[in-house]
Amino acid sequence: MVFFHEVGFISDGFKKFPQEKLFGFGILGHNVVALRGEEARKAFFGRGDLSFTEGYLLLFGGAPTTKDISLDTPDRNDQEQMSYFLRHLTPLLKNDRLAKLTPELMSDIERNMKSWGDAGKFDPFEVMYSTVFQLTIRAAGAREIADSVEKCKQLEELYWKVEKGSTPTALLLPWIPSKARNEKVNSTGEIYAIFDQIIKDRQREGRREEDALQTFIDQGDSTVDIIGFIMGTLFAGIVNTGLMSAWIYIHLDQVPEWKDKAVEEIRALLHKYAPLEEFPDLSTAERFSKIPPQAWEDDMPVMEFCIRETIRLIFSGAALRRVSSGDTEIDGKKIPNGTYLVYSTGETHSDPNIYPNPSQYNPGRYAEGQDKAQAYGFLGWGAGRHPCVGRRFAQYEIKSMVSMFLASYTYEVVDSAGKKPDPSLTVPDRNNMYQARPKGQTFYVKYTKRQQQL
């Protein structure tokens, strides 16, 4: 992740220069310029001479790489590596494949829910990350792991060790030995070994499985390429999806009318594709499996708005680029070739000129078109030339997890003392970019099973 605590660093910088839309600083001899405002945003997200891959090369880290543990890793440049990744990811997320996967994905969600019993409470920042992890492995990994809650948990623990190994020193000065660096490399090696053994077992036994791993084996991809792709997918697809899946429970409980709207939307969706009176003996997972992937995208505007508003309030990362085609000008200021550019999404998402009362959770603002008030007014799924390729699947995950829960349980959010938290004090710890939990508090989803599912 970004080497600095992005929100504090950039916002503090602009406080020193309140009239400026740009300010510069240095990292290891490189020039970096932070940007804000609509004109800078239009240039940053819309121009083709600002390199996406080169931007993230210096200032972004965290994902494991097979270069740390295998000499067979192909020597691709960043553009070639990005092309390889997208070429392999895109087919996995098409609707026809998701339709085939749907029964297993819904079963995975239900299997996690069954462990909760009829009533109790859970920390959404523990439970939702684990569920997202399992769904991601199901979609882009290996059946041997996805079928086992225990193996998923083992892999998830290694995942977080790699994340925690991505300290500022480890990212900017990777050649300096450190405990964090060693932990990251060792955990990456363990992740590699798990998938390497699965591939060898299949080859030795002549066994085939219907999963992403088998697709890559059949294509003739090398073991190191396959494992590199799977690791990259895990680290690209889990942090933000898990975070939004946890926060949406908190926000919906704070605005009951939107929770009620979400429940009614889910009820209507189930009635359309799997009415209870027609399928009284089906499990929750089986009923939800009858909903086609396209319906999750087309027939759930309420949930769509709720997800977008959760992203707006919680997501505050930095988008990165590099000036790569000669000296340029942004918002009237000259910027030399080779300069790294940083744009804070939080600056846009909290702008009252775009979003009146920006600290308020109000999904209805998207029906009003507030996010269209300025160019690229919503940055949660990427924007301009670089939209998020995994957006549709991430939304599918969040919608399906939240919908199955709301169809099966009623709930309220409570703090450690069992009391309802004050919405005005419910803010994320923005200096923890991987797990931006409520700052200084622990919240729980206190649930009771419905007498009858929706």
**pTM (predicted TM-score):** 0.91
- For the segment 165-182, what is each residue's pLDDT rounded down to a tens digit? 766 555 666 656 677 778
The reported pLDDT for the residue numbered 273 is 97
Question: Which regions of 224-339 does DSSP assign to beta strands (E)?
Answer: 318-323, 328-330, 333-335
Question: Which domains does the chain carry?
Answer: 6-449 (1.10.630.10)
Residue pair 378/308 in contact (Cβ under 8 Å)? The answer is: yes
417 alpha-carbon distance from chain centroid: 30
- For the segment 287-334, what is each residue's pLDDT rounded down to a tens digit? 999 999 999 999 999 999 999 999 999 987 788 999 988 999 999 999
- Residues belonging to the binding site for heme are 388
Task: Give 412's pLDDT tier (boundaries 50, 70, 90).
Answer: very high
CA angle 352–357–363, rounded 5-degree value: 105
pLDDT (average), residues 389-410: 96
Return the closest-CA partner of residue 192 out of 62, 60, 68, 61: 68
pLDDT (average), residues 280-291: 96
- For the segment 49-69, what is each residue's pLDDT rounded down to a tens digit? 898 888 877 655 555 565 555
Helix (H, G, I), strand (E, B) or coil at 375: coil
- Residues belonging to the binding site are 388
- For the segment 239-273, what is each residue's pLDDT rounded down to a tens digit? 889 999 999 999 999 999 999 999 999 999 999 99
Alpha-carbon Rg for the chain in angstroms: 22
The reported pLDDT for the residue numbered 5 is 47
- The per-residue pLDDT of the chain, averaged, comes to 88
pLDDT at 278 over 80: yes
pLDDT (average), residues 408-412: 98
The percent of residues in the chain predicted with pLDDT above 90, rounded, is 63
Q: What is the C-alpha separation between 322 and 330, in angstroms, rounded?
A: 13
Query: HSE of 301 in the Cβ direction (CA atoms, 13 Å)?
Result: 5
- For the segment 66-102, what is each residue's pLDDT rounded down to a tens digit? 555 555 556 656 667 777 888 899 999 999 999 999 9
